[in-house]
Amino acid sequence: MNIVIIGKGNVATNLDYAFRKKGVACQMVSSREGLDHLPAANVYIYAVRDEALPSVVKQVVGVGKSLHLHTSGTMPITVFGDDKPHAGVFYPFQTFSKARVIEDFSTVPVFFEARGIDDISAVYSLALSITSHVYETTQHDRERLHVAGVYACNFTNLMYTMAAELLQNTHIPFKALLPLIDETALKIHMLSPRDAQTGPARRGDTNVMNHHLELLSEEQRTLYQRLSEEIRKRQ
């Protein structure tokens, strides 16, 4: 089997590394450099931005019985037209960066969809070649998983950024927060997020919260109050 990954971004780079590490022939091509003369492949994986995916798909022609897969958490299979009857979704659920390639892809869950039974089997086998965590899903569930990922990863990372900003005018380095961050993440391997929740909002400690508000800008106060309200509502 050989694979062509269309795209050279974060997802493409990590998938290329994962497949190559398992001995699967893999090649990345840039979607911005023209796709008129793509190398022949059994599988084409489209690792491009959602807004670019429809136009990139249309550029790929004359590839016979090859399997076409996109890596989006939100785009439907129908982005592949009738000219690509063997199509599906190959959605690795992880945060990816070029600067930090994932060495052990076997722990990364891959969620997939496909049009027919033969394609389902093919995508499942492809996923198993790099990870032991493979799940067939639906468009409905995949969309909600993607949103859940934004909350669990992207918004959480924003909180790290804001925490770092709060420490900028102090003599305390951001790395002082790392043990707290690590323990918070480890706890939810054993407890539900609701049970793991701590802090002044969880305790209803209004004195502490009011003192915090005095230290924050107006914009920061608004977010602090909103998040604290959400914590209180869930207790």
Q: Determine the pLDDT at residue 36.
A: 78
Beta bridge partners of 6: 29, 46
Instruction: Please give the average per-residue pLDDT across 108-137, as a whole number.
Output: 96
Q: Which one-letter DSSP state was computed for residue 73?
A: S
Q: Determine the pLDDT at residue 61.
A: 81
Instruction: Name the token pair of 195.
Output: 């049970």
Instruction: Please give the average per-residue pLDDT across 161-174, as a whole number.
Output: 96
Please, what's the b/e burial string for 30-39 (b: 16 or more CB within 10 A of its CB; e: otherwise)?
ebeeebeebe
CB 146 within 8 A of CB 73: yes
Q: Determine the pLDDT at residue 62.
A: 65
Instruction: Name the token pair of 91.
Output: 């959605």
Give 233's Cβ-side CA count (13 Å radius). Answer: 6
Neighbours of 128 (CB within 10 A): 12
- What does pLDDT average to over the chain? 95
Q: Determine the pLDDT at residue 38.
A: 87
